[in-house]
Structure 1
Amino acid sequence: MSAAGVPIAPSAFTFPSDANISMLFTHLPLNDRPAAAAEAGFDAVEVWWPFPTPTPSAREIGRFEAALRAAGTRLVSINLHEGDPHRGDRGRISWPHATDAVRANAEIVLDIAEATECRLVNALYGNRLPELDPTVQRDVALDNIAHLAQRAGPRGITVVLETLNRFDSPAFPLIRLENTIRLLHEARERAGLDNIALLFDVYHLHRSGSDLVEQIRLAADRIAHVQLADDPGRGRPGSGAIDFPAVLEALHDVGYRGYLGLEYIPEPDSPGGRPLLNDLLRKETA
């Protein structure tokens, strides 16, 4: 039997890892990426919103779900439609004019998650809108998060909230983990449910100058998912300055046992741009 994981040290424990197919294997069409991830040793993947529109056709959705099944890869996490990332959009749940579209997209996301046994949906907050009072956007976001959590709860799905960094996303309000935690608890209170948690992105928090071990201890059992990339450059873990052994040990110490999503900019090792993953995989046979 073989398993893919990110090692802390020789003979130490490993976490299960998944490949973010919105950043890895991008030289391939979307529906070929699950098979490429499986070939590289992964039994799980995650994805940003994978379609060009917020309301794709049933045929598009069916092909994506079929690609996951054919590859034997579990879908760990999927994002709500985030807007147009090429224009710098970072989600829409706090935009009053987008509420109807957000909720329509959310129903499709939840259907995909249920069909693929995915248990995490990432709801990016959205950039500040300069014409609006920030408290208006926050109230809209809380309503949309609560609505999503209420729709997701009966399906066993958790909504996750993510902290980004001010350098890559200067208009994004959630650039401190403490603020995201406050939003999380307000959203839980408004929803009357606790299926709202944190997506802990190691790259974004380190880029913001945070002490990652302290941040993990602060977040503790609120963490439902972790994503990895190194800093600077958002490259593969081990290519930059982040102390990953300390990070993974801290995660283990607070009781995290979930997936580590590999969400980094790959280094090409072929003309097609296939990512270098070998140093992130630990093969075990029994």
Structure 2
Amino acid sequence: MGSLQESLTKFKKQQEKCQSTLTNIAAKAGSSKAASLKSTPSSTSSSANAKSPTPVKFSNDTERLQHINSIRKAPVGAQIKRVIHLLFETRQALTPEQINEACYVDTNANKAVFDSLRNNPKVNYDGKRFSYKSKHDLKDKNQLLVLIRKFPEGIAVIDLKDSYPNVMEDLQALKASGQIWLLSNFDSQEDIAYPNDPRAVIKVDDDLKHLFRGMELPRDMIDIEKELQKNGMKPATNTAKRRAKEQVHGIMPKPKTKKKKPEISKRTKLTNAHLPELFQHLNVPGS
């Protein structure tokens, strides 16, 4: 315990000595600085300040200016595309000054850009402002549904997707609620929107009618499943596997009986009403 107390006392003395040394150094530095200031004439310092050159300030925005210059020197088509993208994203009517500020395309200084933008089918110009012009002027999901119902034979989704920002989400919502169908066109690989309305009158081409009447399906379900697989479709049933299980359990397949065609009456709901030729040979009571 005594040795520990002696160590602490020694440490305190060393700290006091260091502090005293630092105080003396600071005092000497202050006095030497004051002496040097007194020995320097004021006229010398003023003349030195007068002769010192003013530093030249260069722009720190060089990269941005180079970017703006490259845009304004770009071909007219590239500048038009940049403006149309801006109008599509904002969906606002913008003056030439606002366009210049937002995307650095100066339509006032470039007549070719101004004229091309004014005559572009995707742009509307009211004399002061430019705005985006979609093929169909729609604002919300209700207007979208009303438009689709006007096209019972289908309307291309590509003609709808630029109507307003969230039109694709509304199309999926209408499909999920069962109000429309979204089917793919095998020729162009594009989606077609159809109204899901059983009252809609659909015009069917004569070629499609002849194809429908001339198509004969296989009588055996196994053959039907094979045809589906040939066309890249997965059958919902597996008749061969089901029949194999029945044979294992000793279940004999039921003999196929020829079903009697149901008679057509006035109360019968005709789902293929757009093909009246199919019902020409049917005897409808009371007709």
TM-score by length of 1: 0.20
Q: Larger RCO: Structure 1 or Structure 2 (Cα < 8 Å, ≥ 6 residues apart)?
A: 1
Which structure dedicates a bigger proportion of its chain to strand?
1
TM-score by length of 2: 0.20
Q: Which has the larger radius of gyration?
A: 2
